[in-house]
A and B are shown apart, each in its own frame.
Chain A
């Protein structure tokens, strides 16, 4: 059944902008991204929106819908009251380019800071033989589609721009955890994560987990295990006393 949907979409660029009202016909079963496309087709041909797969797998159409970071293509209109307007704004944490499109290059800078998987010289060359239980541990983390909603919702950078320099963010703590748990990775990434990538700034309020469209338990399975691993090497006096002295080179 077709009905008229009211939308409030933020329009503007780095110089400024405001919410603009639109009414477009939509059908039952459509998603928010469909409604935005109707606005583009019928009301505002110059509306900018980034999207690609429309299947929740490319992570392009991240935005904030009624104030909550979500993928527009995975937000069904039937989940919203028909008689209330839906507000759509760009992700707040990142610089805006135009309308709903933001510059997410902050995340690529943080991605470049992750030291690559590093096997030792003594290990057999890739491909490694790994037991399934060891593979499964990191497979959850590999589901990440890099929509950066977790980075957007994280108050450490969302509310404090000044922390961006020091803080990698939940998406990349996922990566640090994955590599630190890898049986064949030989780098110790614990101190690196704590001292250089701002793991200690995270106060585990779990918003990253709440918004993840892939339902990755970012906090419970990546960030808290990394924090515990950091405790092993930095804050555990008993383990410190038990540690063997380093061999002389």
Chain B
């Protein structure tokens, strides 16, 4: 039986906390280690990804070589995917939900979902609050802002919709897994030497596995599968699932970085293969 909730008593008036003087230390930090390295790496890698992903999303070309499709462009929901000239790389699978009027890159339609998932992710929040907003740049290093409202106001209060992006991310994981399976069972374009399994099949597969692991290690996932329970003992299956997700959750940071970098590398691979830069061998 779930414990019935009793009304929370009105909080007592808060005693005033007097702002007595702190120790007079002028330096913003007395840390003498290289505290700036970690935020600098986050800044560099995230900036590089944003620049690359923006270019790749607007490029609107070289995103498909039968049977490989770039994760930036899957699912392809615009008529333009079938209408565009794809040379000898084949016509990508697509749904013409967005008709001929959609003239720009079809990646723009879908990227808000994986982008939103990562933007609201508890790990990435830590990374970009530190690296970009310097709030704070590192522990015990003073932040430059005069006031601070955290995640209590718009737009940062929107971080609370993370779980919806998580669900949307699951849909994308299913679709990208389907793309990976297709990469193993569909023959390659004849101009690429035919055959079934190539390096790209494994690239798409690894990408899908990493994305599943990143999603499964998500804090919202951990909450949904069992974290919200009050009685673990009364829900043994959800408790076990929570335990598995909790183990993955301890690696959430590593999975966030690995999956982010690999999704870009997957796009690079498909792009190089589609453009012919990798040649036309059976191994591609």
Contacts and interface: CB of A to CB of B under 8 A. Distances in A.
Nearest to A11: B23
Interface stretch (B69-77, B100-108, B123-131): B123-131
Contact of A66 (B12, B33, B233): B33
Interface stretch (B60-68, B140-148, B171-179, B199-207): B140-148
**Main DSSP-derived SS at the A contact region:** mixed
Given A66-B33, A67-B32, A160-B148, A183 B231 contact: yes
B23 A90 contact: yes
A236 B220 CA distance: 12
Contacts of A3: none
A1 B222 CA distance: 50
A227 to B, nearest CB: 8
Given A92-B23, A186-B6, A220 B16 contact: no
Query: Which residue among A10, A14, A153, A220 has the maximum number of chain B CB atoms within 10 Å of its CB?
Result: A220
B29 interface: yes
Interface stretch (A29-37, A39-47, A49-57, A197-205): A197-205
25 contacts: A12-B23, A66-B32, A67-B29, A67-B31, A67-B32, A68-B139, A95-B22, A96-B22, A118-B6, A131-B232, A133-B232, A155-B135, A155-B148, A159-B148, A162-B147, A181-B230, A183-B233, A188-B5, A198-B152, A200-B150, A202-B150, A204-B126, A225-B223, A230-B160, A232-B228
A163 B148 contact: yes
Contacts of B156: 203
Given A68-B31, A156-B148, A204-B126, 18 more contacts: A10-B23, A12-B23, A12-B24, A17-B24, A66-B32, A67-B141, A68-B33, A90-B23, A119-B3, A130-B233, A153-B140, A155-B136, A165-B17, A189-B8, A203-B151, A205-B136, A220-B219, A220-B250
